[in-house]
Amino acid sequence: MDSVRKGNELAITIPQKWDKCTVDDIFKEKWKTPKKMLHELRMSKNVKVDGQEIPWNLPLLTGQSLSFPAFESKLPASIIPADLEIDIIYEDDFLLIANKPSGLETHPSTAGHTNTLLNAVAYYLTQSGQQGYIKHIHRLDKDTTGAVLFAKAKLVGSMLDKMLEEREIKRTYAALVEGIIAQPQGTINEKIGRDRHHATRRRVSPGGQSAITHYKAVHTFPKENMTLITCQLESGRTHQIRVHLSHIGHPLMGDILYGGPSKFKRQALHALKIEFIHPITEEPIEVAAPFLDNPSIFPSQILEG
């Protein structure tokens, strides 16, 4: 889809497939805009077609330009930029993907907390002259590395949230687990709940939240007694991969919390790849996150092959 940012406004050229759609149709049906945001856009009187304010129920024609305020002019006051070393592995006007190193939380858990990926991304944006909105769409554990998706506009954030909820954002993880997995691929469908005996642990529990993990064995290492696997999730529960793999007797290498051997300084889990259809441009996005450990704990040549 043909779109362009003009200052704090987004301009969309109406495509053939939206011919005869109304402004109301686009925001409500196409983009699933939240009610509060929809109300704010209506009240702003700044939603225009070919530069003119028109009724929201007037059919639009292919080639017309729909423009509206979509971007913020400054960061939220609650987000304090922090100069931390991170890599941005994909970026456009609407979103970005950062490669999270080990040792960083994804976002602050308390006021004034700045040693997080969100604060680092905020610093990157300010340094590149982008004083705008930023929001993480999903999270990774503190010691898990890899791709994390951020929205750079409220509307895009709400669209990505919906896509994540409806499983339209595909995330692939690499993991090294203890033992040789007998089945080359499988699915773990076990509910996950809190462990009442441990503040930070989760456990498989009949009364927990539904959680489904698909895994595929990539390579075995008999001498080291471990298997390299990839995982994909149908849900996003806290510690899901760690809990599920421990439950089937193959905890992550380095994951002491869930019974894994202390071979590495952290659990051997990396968010390797993220794939989705861009919510605005509708282009397919596929981004791979390079391994960050030095020396690497993952055999990258095998995954690349």
Catalytic residues: 141
Tracing tokens 């071979």 back to the chain, one arrives at 263
Per-residue H/E/C for 213-229: EEEEEEEEECCCCEEEE
Q: Two tokens at 250?
A: 């193959």
Residues shown for the chain: 305
Report the half-sphere exposure of 178 (CA within 13 A, side-chain side).
Answer: 21
Q: Two tokens at 70?
A: 């979509």
CA-to-CA dists, residue 258 to 105, 144, 197, angstroms = 19, 14, 14
CB 133 within 8 A of CB 154: yes
Torsion angles phi and psi, residue 9, rounded to 5: -105, 150
Residue 169: closest CA among 72, 271, 88: 271
Eight-state DSSP code of residue 257: G
Q: Give me the sign of the Cα torsion angle 173, 174, 179, 180.
A: positive
Torsion of CA 271, 93, 113, 99, to 10 degrees: 20
CB 145 within 8 A of CB 273: no
Residue 175: closest CA among 248, 280, 67, 116: 248
CB 72 within 8 A of CB 111: no
CA-to-CA dists, residue 57 to 22, 105, 133, 174, 183, angstroms = 5, 45, 29, 48, 56
